[in-house]
Amino acid sequence: MEKRELGKGGLLVNPVGLGCMGFSHAYGEPMEKSSAVRMIRKAWKMGYDFYDTAETYWGTYPDGTVSYNEELVGEALKDVRDKVVIATKMGVSHNADRSLRVDSRPETIRKSVEGSLKRLHTDYIDLYYQHRMDPNVEPETVAEVMAELIKEGKIRAWGISEVTEDYLRRVHAVCPVTAIQNRYSMMARWHESLFPLCEELNVAFVAFSPMANGLLSGKYTPATRFDKEKDYRSDMPQYTEEGYAKAEGLLHLLEEMAKEKQVTMGQLSLAWMLNKKPYIIPIPGSRKEERLRENFGAGDIVLSAEEIAAIDTKLDTMQFDVFGGH
């Protein structure tokens, strides 16, 4: 399995990373802490070496105690710290209605990085993201703070999640960006317009929700019930009757191709983007060992340019209801 470079910053990782959010945030009640730590550790033994978390990924247990995602990642990886790349994020908190509150003021960034370093049990962060653009803070101001943190050795590289072309150009001119992290899947392709800019600036594209929050795994149907209070999928349009109906053509296509390739639907959806561009790194997540192993194996699947083009041609004829859609 050939490594991929995050931008041109010298950070080399395997093609599939691990999105750790679901261990404690947005996908139901947090996983029991020791079990989550063991699962993250198992992922390391499978070959995962790129882990994604954020300061805002946390959840509460029925007794009111809190599971902080960064603490799980830090505990699991502290004795292999020099062998892994850890990415975390700042600048976002969640309102009661699940909407986002953004804050990227310099003093907030500095307070956040110290908190993340402590929770991650480390003295440096490999890749530090601005979780969302803040309309109240100039892009250049954010980039200047990130440049300072790099000089201070607190972070090795930085990036932005859900970035636009104009914003990326502005910050990159001040402090070169190593990676962007945007939503991307067969059902969410609107950020493909950023590919030429990624190539121009040598910026990696880290794809979150690469299986449309699980739908493209083929494991869920409209009959699947999610916890209304703790599982964000309960409000996602792709899991409604109407949204699922719009995705059925794609799911059928994936099922047929997966059988032909002797892979799973989830693996095929990951292989599609991995073979499309050498700088795309998906970060699917799961709490299940067999699913983690399956996702990681997608890095070995080869699709030809003709096969990818054929899939894209069919996708161009489809319209989806998907969370985060335009």
Point out the catalytic residue in the list 27, 51, 57, 128. 57
Contacts of 97 (CB under 8 A, 6+ apart): none
48 is catalytic: no
On the CB side of 28, how many CA atoms lie within 13 Å of its CA?
8
Q: Please identify every residue annotated as catalytic.
A: 57
